[in-house]
Amino acid sequence: MKMIFRQSPCIPAESDIIVDRQNLTIREELLLARNALENAYTGFDNVTDPDLIDCYIYELNAVMKRYKYLLQKAAESDPLPEKEHANAMRPLTLL
């Protein structure tokens, strides 16, 4: 079984940003949720153990629900003008 983990350094470099989740905008939270979704898909693709497969399925479902929730909140807080509805694209297609 091969597992891949990202490990961040103990001391952040100058370019690292410390995330304060209290002051994030919806757009930033959407970006974090999308990255978490991509990470969950990557993990799911790389495991073979049935227990870990179940774990990643639960993680994917949880992150997808959070992503959908954030998309709804973004749509409620900043709706598109009527003329832009025709050109709007979904940022991520969920299967």
Average pLDDT over every residue of 37-49 = 93
20 torsion bin: left (phi>0), alpha (psi -120 to 50), beta (else) = beta
Average pLDDT over every residue of 37-55 = 93
Is 71 inside a domain boundary? yes
The CA distances from residue 35 to 13, 73, 81, 84, in Å, are 21, 18, 28, 26
Who has greater pLDDT, 56 or 77?
56
The pLDDT score that the predictor gives to residue 27 is 85
Is 17 inside a domain boundary? no
The one-letter code for the residue type at 34 is R
Confidence of residue 90 (pLDDT cuts 50, 70, 90): low
Domain count, the chain: 1
The pLDDT score that the predictor gives to residue 94 is 58
User: Does residue 53 register a pLDDT over 70?
Assistant: yes
Query: Which residue range forms the structural domain that includes residue 55?
Result: 25-77
Dump pLDDT digits (tens) for 22-38: 557 888 888 999 999 99
Please say whether the beta carbons of 18 and 12 come within 8 A. yes
The pLDDT score that the predictor gives to residue 87 is 58
Query: What average pLDDT does the structure give for the chain?
Result: 75
The CA distances from residue 54 to 12, 39, 40, 58, 83, in Å, are 33, 15, 12, 6, 43
